[in-house]
Amino acid sequence: MKRIVTITGAILLTGFVLIGVNSLRNMDIKVQLREVKIKDTTVELRNLNEQYDELLQNNQADQKKIEKLREEKRKLEADLQAKKAEKARIAAKKAEAERVAKLQPKVAQASSVSVSGTCEQWIANAGISDVGNARELIRRESGCNPNAINRSSGACGVAQELPCGKSGCSLGDGACQVRWMNSYVASRYGSWANAVAFHNAHDWY
């Protein structure tokens, strides 16, 4: 049964990763399409400017034609600005998606160790007053999984302590791990808010 749970977790984790990759790929395509549209509009505007300059050089030019070209120019310039703004918006959204993806816990499920209690209970029992920032930092690090092990670094537990085991807490012992994490955050950053701010800037704490 434990093996089935582990395999199911791995399949779900793979699925979430693939969804994130497809989402970022779709954003790349949108940015590329926006670049093509901007290029097309730029060419159209350049051609229109050439026609406009040609008319202005002709003293016999029909004033109505000049006004018509001016209006077309204004519309094209506005359209070009809108397309550039949309491209910037899509690029910013893609960058934010990549940033959020980095913050997701890169962890694997360790061999199942029984867990007693919930994350909220562990935070309360550790005497943490800044519950919001504590919950957020724990979520980023491990999803509050006391059995979590980072596949690349070997960091483990709720706090993703490195090296694994330096807290003296066992895998699965969420209460002990959260107490240790609270002590670590207080000594290194002074507060949970400072630790989250550091994580925002560096993607680690």
In the prediction, which pLDDT does 93 show? 78
Give yes or no: residues 56 and 131 share one domain. Answer: no
In the prediction, which pLDDT does 36 show? 60
In the prediction, which pLDDT does 95 show? 77
Give yes or no: residues 150 and 191 share one domain. Answer: yes
Residue 19: pLDDT band (50, 70, 90) is very low
Helix (H, G, I), strand (E, B) or coil at 148: strand
Pairwise pLDDT comparison (52 vs 60), residue with the higher score:
52
Tell which of 87, 103, 119 closes a domain: 103
Q: Cα torsion for 20, 24, 25, 30, to the nearest 10°?
A: 140
CB atoms within 10 A of CB 132: 10
Give yes or no: residues 48 and 68 share one domain. Answer: yes
Count of structural domains, the chain: 2
In the prediction, which pLDDT does 159 show? 96
Q: Which H or E run includes 170?
A: none
Tell which of 60, 85, 103 closes a domain: 103
Domain of residue 155: give its range: 107-202
Give yes or no: residues 69 and 115 share one domain. Answer: no
Give yes or no: residues 52 and 119 share one domain. Answer: no
**Whole-angstrom Cα distance, residue 60 to residue 99?**
59
Residue 97: pLDDT band (50, 70, 90) is low
Helix (H, G, I), strand (E, B) or coil at 122: helix
Residue 12 has pLDDT above 90, yes or no: no
User: What integer is the mean pLDDT of 106-117?
Assistant: 62
Residue 78 has pLDDT above 60, yes or no: yes
Give yes or no: residues 159 and 193 share one domain. Answer: yes
CB distance 50 to 82 below 8 Å: no
Give yes or no: residues 6 and 85 share one domain. Answer: yes
Residue 20 has pLDDT above 60, yes or no: no
**Whole-angstrom Cα distance, residue 77 to residue 151?**
51
Residue 99 has pLDDT above 70, yes or no: no
Residue 147 has pLDDT above 90, yes or no: yes
Q: Cα torsion for 191, 196, 198, 200, to the nearest 10°?
A: -170
Give yes or no: residues 141 and 99 share one domain. Answer: no
Residue 109: pLDDT band (50, 70, 90) is very low
Give yes or no: residues 7 and 96 share one domain. Answer: yes
Residue 5: pLDDT band (50, 70, 90) is very low
Which one-letter amino acid corresponds to residue 174?
G
Give yes or no: residues 125 and 98 share one domain. Answer: no
Helix (H, G, I), strand (E, B) or coil at 108: strand
Residue 108 has pLDDT above 80, yes or no: no
**Whole-angstrom Cα distance, residue 122 to residue 114?**
15
Tell which of 56, 78, 103 closes a domain: 103
**Whole-angstrom Cα distance, residue 67 to residue 52?**
10
